[in-house]
Structure 1
């Protein structure tokens, strides 16, 4: 199974296994990762699962689609590497993915 590492605003890291094709948000909620709320349940209708994709992973994860980009307007402290974790699906190619959570969700 692929793994994903969540790094919180204080620098604490948590690495967990992800079921294939689960979203980064689903994995976070399953493992009680702080900083990921996911109020809309993954419908891309809020920005409470906002993360920063680690710079070394940005190209492999790819850019946000238009709908996601629109939702990011509601996120706190949006950056070039911002994504909604409900829109990142774990695949074998993303094994070892690192994402950072913001200081707070928008």
Structure 2
């Protein structure tokens, strides 16, 4: 399909899957991961308030928009966040994100 990209998702158990992502439906990466059966809590509903959708960008991060202040503040509260950390709820994927590679980080509960 012309409006489909593929991203590689590594779950916290190190299992890897290639996920097709339609780019014309305006879903966040968090919503795509949940729809694909990944155990993403997203307790705040995608408002960048809980960090339960924390992902590590392994490849393709230069094609993502820069994080906004609210996302950065939430990431700063995580003990395992680093420069490659993002909140999946804040990422909308576009055709230029084809080949993105992420690892799901489990939130401390």
Q: Same fold (TM over 0.5)?
A: yes
For 2:13 and 2:98, the matched residues in 1 are separated by 23
Q: Secondary structure, in 3 states, of the residue corresponding to 2:9?
A: strand
* Deviation sequence 1:43-89 (CA, Å, 0-9, x none): 112100000011x3121114311110011133340011000001111
Aligned pair count reads: 103
Change (3 A) 1:76 1:14: farther
Q: In structure 1, what is the equivalent of residue 21 of structure 2? A: 18
Q: Secondary structure, in 3 states, of the residue corresponding to 1:6?
A: strand
Within the candidate set 75, 82, 99, 1:79 is matched to: 82
CA contact (8 A) 2:7 2:21 kept: yes
Task: Give the alignment's TM-score, normalised by structure 2.
Answer: 0.83
Q: Cα RMSD over matched residues? A: 1.6
Q: Which has the larger radius of gyration?
A: 2
Q: What runs of 5+ residues in structure 1 fail to find an aligned partner?
A: none
Within the candidate set 37, 40, 49, 1:32 is matched to: 37
For 1:14 and 1:75, the matched residues in 2 are separated by 26
Task: Give the alignment's TM-score, normalised by structure 1.
Answer: 0.85
CA contact (8 A) 2:9 2:18 kept: yes
Q: What runs of 5+ residues in structure 2 fail to find an aligned partner?
A: none
